[in-house]
Structures are given as structure tokens and as C-alpha cells.
Amino acid sequence: VAWTPELSSPIVPSAESPAPSTMTLPPRGVMIVGDVNDPNHAAAAGHLAARLGWPLLWEPSSNAHGALTALSHGPLIAAHMPIPDAVVTVGTVGLSRSVVGLLRDTPHHIAVHLPSNGPMQPDPARTAREILDAIPQAECVVDPQWLASWQRADWAAATVIEAQLPPMHLTGPSVAIDVWRHAPADSLLMVGASWPVRHLEAALWLASQPIHELSCRGTSPLRMKSWQRWTEFCPSFACT
């Protein structure tokens, strides 16, 4: 454990409590990957979710959409699924209210704060029992029905979304999704401001080709100035 939240809650362990070399987690859990700068961290989170048999919810800038257990429409179905017994978050999370609500409702939240994510604690709902400085080694007795139930709900959501986003009908979600789908493999996709990012998080069907995505969650002058600098260094990119 690198540090603990600055809370008086009795469930928060002391800073001297080391993380076990291998954690034992319950079979009914969820992995949530937020903003992650290092693709190796995203891959490690995906491998852990697959090993545990957990569904993986991802924010667009996590670049974890290629994980084996990744869902396409996690934020849309999260509020309608049984509450998991544990959740592990990796990186900066909190793009959607449904995911933050999931953190509040889940009894055991383990947050992973990566060095590349800066000093802010990755605990938007102040629910983390532990905040680790690395993705842990973990094991559990896998329940295949748990992941299958989330995948069935994901497929059902995809059917509804496809019906609501007919071809040649321009909406915010459809434009964001079409740009993603037409971006070449291994391209850099820059998405901003926050509304298109949320469109991708909720409505995007998982792409088969690898795409590297960067997100801007607002339109403040400082953020837009950062975008201008990015275009100077990367003149060829897809942008919504």
C-alpha cells in the first residue's frame, strides 16, 4: 500500500500495511480501467480481469478496449446489474455517474494509483479500502456465470444502441463512433471535449483494430491550448 485516503473511516488501512504478494478476491468482481498513460498497465489490468473472470469496464483513454473480458457498454448496464462483491480500479476513473455509483455501492473497492497519473488520488467516491501503487497479483475461484451475465447484458445493450443509431442519421454518438470505426489501425485518435468522450464510453462497439486514444474532458482555455500544442506535434490524427 503506497498510501491511504485522507479519511477518518475505520475501513482505511494504515500506511504501514503492505499489500499481500497475492491477493485473494471474490469471484463476483468488476475491473474498471480509467485514464492510463502506459499501455503496459492497461494490458496488465486486462490480463488480471481475464484471470479472475471479471468483466472489464473501460474509459476511452484507458486503451483497454482490447482486453479479453472488456465490455462495450459497461456504463449503460452497470446500474442494472447485481452489485459486485469487489471492484478494482486502475488509473483515474469517474467519467460516468453509473461507474461512480458502482464504486459507492460495492463493499470492497481497491484503487490502483499509477505513477504516471500524477498526485491526485484515484478515488472519486472516497470508497477505496486500499490504494496500491501497482496492479496487484490476485486470484479467486472463478465463477463463469458471473462474467457471462454481464456479457449477455452487454449484447442486449448493443442491440438497442444499433436500433437507435441508424445509418446516415447524424447524432453526437453516431459521429463519435463512426470516426473511431474509420480510424486506421494503430492510429492516434484525439477526442474532445467531454461529451464525445462519454459517447464513446457508452455507445462504442469494441473495435477489432488497435487504436490509441487521448481524451480531453473539457473545453477550458488551458485544455484547448494543450490540444493546440498536440496538433503541432501530431499533425495527422483523427479528431471528434
pLDDT in tens, 58-116: 888 788 888 999 998 898 899 999 999 999 999 989 888 999 999 999 999 999 998 87
- The H-or-E segment that residue 23 falls in is strand 23-24
Cell of 136: 496487484
Give the C-alpha separation, 99 to 91, whole Å.
14
Decide: 41 and 90 in contact? Cβ < 8 Å.
yes
H helices, E strands: number in the chain? 7, 10
For residue 213, what pLDDT is reported? Answer: 54
Cell 503496459 sits on residue? 40
Q: What is the pLDDT of residue 11?
A: 35
> What digits encode the pLDDT tens for the residues 168-223?
677 777 777 777 777 777 777 777 666 667 666 666 665 545 555 555 555 444 44
